[in-house]
Amino acid sequence: MTARILAAADTWQRSHAAAAVAVAVVKKFSDDRASGLAALMAYYAFFSLFPLLLVFVSVLGFVLEGDPSLQAEIVDSALARIPVIGAQLDDEVAPLTGSALGLAVGLAGALWAGLGVTLALGRAFHELWGVPRLDQRGPIRSRAYGVAALLVLAALLVGSTVLSGLAIGGGIGPAAERLGALSLALLVNAAAFLAVFGLLTQRPFRIRELLPGVILAAVGSLILQSVGGWCFDRTVTGASDTYGTFALVIGLLSWFWLGSHLLLLAGEVNVVLHRRLWPRSLTGDLEPADREAMQRHAEAARQDRREEILVRFDDS
């Protein structure tokens, strides 16, 4: 009975492109063991959060020294994007002070620790796209691209805060204000994920090849920030004093874990669509559809490698 239901579902999903793509994404996510990669990203994100905030606040302290109100507004906006502990950090994060040398060393160390997230994400993208180890970026280039991604994300955060302030200051109604905030959040999320996918994915891409994953990640992250943050905040608020600290840690780790899975699922969508890795079989046996998808994946990987060599040859 179960086998017949599974066979019927398999036949149905093969004849519907949207369902076939969804099945192919889930199967490739499992084949790549992406859940383990997402857990590694969540680990680095958790330990890199505070150094990155330290860098962000310290740089703002220098750049916006003459405008403390804008500096506070940007910091509050950054913390508001972090559910569970964002409100608790509001009065705890302060810029580094002291000698210029000590400040430079502290910022360099904090930034180096924060690059753990971008390095883990870059390795995950290598796995998703099947980039051979010898063709992967070296440690210096990987960190250079990671720094670029962090700078773009910081610039987008500052820009979105300023634009939000201008919109609210215009005296528009509450409904228009909420709609504008939602639209701005979607645009900022989309731009941020486009930068992340574009900078940390090794092979040269056209923007349209990255858009499906970018759109999924942007919409999914907005839902995760609102619904997930609301759920985690209620859970942590309801925890007792004894378990409050553990609830904070578990809640933040869970948020990073969900976000990492969302990001890698979006990356798998780009791979599946770009290399046409569907339909896939729902049965346990290796079906012709799976062999065809595997063959397409291997051929597309070779084609990507040839295109990358041609791009490097033209640049030289």
For residue 221 the two structure tokens come to: 């992250």
pLDDT greater at residue 310 or residue 102: 310
What integer pLDDT is reported at residue 169 of this predicted model?
A: 46
For the chain, helix, strand, coil in percent to 5 are 80, 0, 20
Tell me which residue of 308, 81, 299, 118 sits closest to 197, measured CA to CA.
118
**Nearest-angstrom CA–CA distance, 226 and 66:** 33
What average pLDDT does this structure show over 236-256? 69
Q: Where are the alpha helices (DSSP H) in 15-135?
A: 17-31, 34-63, 68-80, 86-89, 100-129
Structure tokens that stand for 247 in this block: 């609830």
Structure tokens at 227: 């619904």
Q: 60: how many CB neighbours lie within 10 A of its CB?
A: 21
Structure-block tokens of residue 93: 């994060």
| Mean pLDDT of the 258-286 span | 87
pLDDT digits (tens, 9 = 90+) for 31-77: 888 999 999 999 888 888 777 777 777 776 666 666 667 666 666 66
Q: CB within 8 A of 252, min separation 6: which ones?
A: 46, 49, 82, 83, 84, 85
pTM given for the model: 0.81
